[in-house]
Chains A and B, each alone.
Chain A
């Protein structure tokens, strides 16, 4: 069955096409089930392919299939061909698995929406593009998926396009992503021009084979990473992700938490050969990741919208993944990507369940005491929160620990410190969310309360499954003191990344694990004090430090700064140029010369008296002159 792996992206793609063309004529149930079934078939195929690779895992080259030649012209040549190795198999399993659960969840969540079939068509289309991105065997085809997921993100954020905020957020997401993509394209061009091939295998080999000089490796790696900061919402291009929460919640879970936003991490891992060869580029990756991890976490501290807290949390967690990649621990970065995909989609879906129960309410200040109303949602949410906070033996604990340990082992102590600080903040804002939402007084307006209900099974079953995975998936990547071979995940990916670079003494590792555990508990404890035991503390803090509070609440005013420094000057400048240069100078010069010609005509007008005799006189004079000329003889 593994040889049919190339169908993995094509099945959702075909389903999307069918839904786009005929969706409006199909029944609601059929649409939902067709979409989910297509993704489920991909789940089966990816699992088969994954197992196939696991069996033959000996650094072999994986599965390849060329579907058709694509763009070819002169020395430029690419084809549509898929490649599945350990790395892409892991990603494919995550994308299809989480994707399938979210499709099922959506069947319940979106059941009443008017444009149900459009929604599922886009969701399928997204899965298709994401899988193309993952399984592409060259960087140009990856770019197809890369832009394709951006398109689907645009379509799904703006799914409720009647709402101005949603329409604006979708547009913002696409344009900000395009800024990164412009850099990405330049990176691709340098690769194509210097390496002569778009294939990942050749590119990863290029630093060693000398096709790319050291300087170019760094330049290319940084340009591609700029693309990644757009897609994966890192500093400085993260601004679109919080706004992207205008989309339906399952979309936020799938695209803006589990899969698409981690595409940048995947890209860096895919090109690990390139990044590993450039110390400056790797440092950029690690530092951008580290700074984003803390920066985003601080903004999550004061947000009141459930989904925005989770959005900033996503930005922060992707920062962790980039720390992992930047310090050379690609397997750790991927590991966090996998665990994050599970617990973050769980958190989003659970949040969606809460929002669904409250009839669309997203503001935590109007929630509270929901624990007893939502008997399934609450425990799964708690599992997710514990996992992301890094509480021992849940998935987030192992993956975050793997990254922090690698950072420490590589001698990046400041990054390690940033990571640890981020971990405290993470635990704090997650439990702030839990306490504000599920505990305390019910702050829900009466009218909505009558409708508070647990979600239908199509929503709760995926939640439970995701919760189980969030809890247990960490066990595939145990740290060394469970044995040299305990890290199944790392060993599986050794064929791609090579063996782990650094090893620490067991005692050091133990200290690091303890430190991570303590920071998680510290964060939770602080949240408990602030939001459960003495809720007046945050209020007093806000009063005491109004500047900081407003700065955080205003998200450091980065959006406003971009608007004032980039967007408005650009548009206003273009308007001025249009009004004063295009219309006045260029067009004015033309109209002016036309007017000059007109004036000249007016001047010569005198000659045209309309009197026959004047014309005849001119004629006569001409004739005489001509004759005279002939008689005297031409000079």
Chain B
């Protein structure tokens, strides 16, 4: 039996990896993947919690998150493709139209 804390540590590691990747990488696609990693780190934590607490809530949330993540991935990728078509670049340093 793997202890629950192991899952939490793994989730935390994955999350930190995601964060680091998000800040280190400069292209939108990789950053997007980093976000996905963080998301799934969260999922893992939820599942671990569901197991330790013996409740189904966590699993329900995970299913919900996966659904949302799927939709989000579709839209996110579509946006990235569109940005690339328009700008010929998906480097985040080039995309600063929101500068005030």
Contacts and interface: CB of A to CB of B under 8 A. Distances in A.
Interface of A: 605, 608-613, 616-617, 620
B5 interface: no
Contact of A609 (B23, B31, B99): B99
A610 B97 contact: yes
Contact of B96 (A611, A616, A617): A611
A64 B10 CA distance: 106
Contacts of B19: 620
B99 A612 contact: no
Contacts of B31: 612
B71 interface: no
Contact of A616 (B23, B95, B100): B23
B92 interface: yes
16 contacts: A605-B100, A608-B99, A608-B100, A609-B96, A609-B99, A610-B95, A610-B96, A610-B99, A611-B92, A611-B93, A611-B96, A611-B99, A612-B31, A613-B92, A616-B22, A617-B23
* 10 shortest interchain CB distances as A-B pairs: A610-B99, A610-B96, A608-B100, A610-B98, A605-B100, A612-B92, A611-B96, A609-B99, A613-B23, A608-B99
Q: Which of B31, B96, B100 has the most CB of A within 10 A?
A: B100
Nearest to B100: A608
B23 A608 contact: no
Contacts of A610: 95-100
Contacts, number: 26
Nearest to A601: B100
Nearest to B23: A613
Interface of B: 19, 22-23, 31, 92-93, 95-100
A554 B96 CA distance: 79
Nearest to A604: B100
A277 to B, nearest CB: 78
Interface of A is mostly: helix
A508 to B, nearest CB: 100
Contacts of B100: 605, 608, 610
Nearest to A602: B100
A620 B34 CA distance: 14
Given A605-B100, A609-B99, 5 more contacts: A609-B96, A610-B97, A611-B92, A611-B96, A612-B31
Contacts of A617: 23
B23 A612 contact: no
Nearest to A609: B99
A609 B22 CA distance: 17
A630 to B, nearest CB: 16
A618 to B, nearest CB: 12
Contacts of A605: 100
A106 B31 CA distance: 98
A396 B100 CA distance: 90
Nearest to A616: B22
Contacts of B92: 611-613
A626 to B, nearest CB: 15
Nearest to A623: B19
A522 B95 CA distance: 107
A608 B31 CA distance: 20
A354 B19 CA distance: 107
Nearest to A606: B100
A343 B96 CA distance: 94
Nearest to B34: A616
A138 to B, nearest CB: 70
Contact of B98 (A608, A613, A616): A608
Contacts of A608: 98-100
B100 to A, nearest CB: 4
A482 to B, nearest CB: 102
Contacts of A611: 92-93, 96, 99
B83 to A, nearest CB: 12
A613 B30 CA distance: 13
A607 to B, nearest CB: 8
Contacts of B93: 611
A605 B100 CA distance: 6
A608 to B, nearest CB: 4
Contacts of B95: 610, 612
A357 to B, nearest CB: 84
Nearest to B25: A613
Contacts of B22: 613, 616
Contacts of B97: 610
Nearest to A611: B96
Contacts of B23: 613, 616-617
Contacts of B98: 608, 610
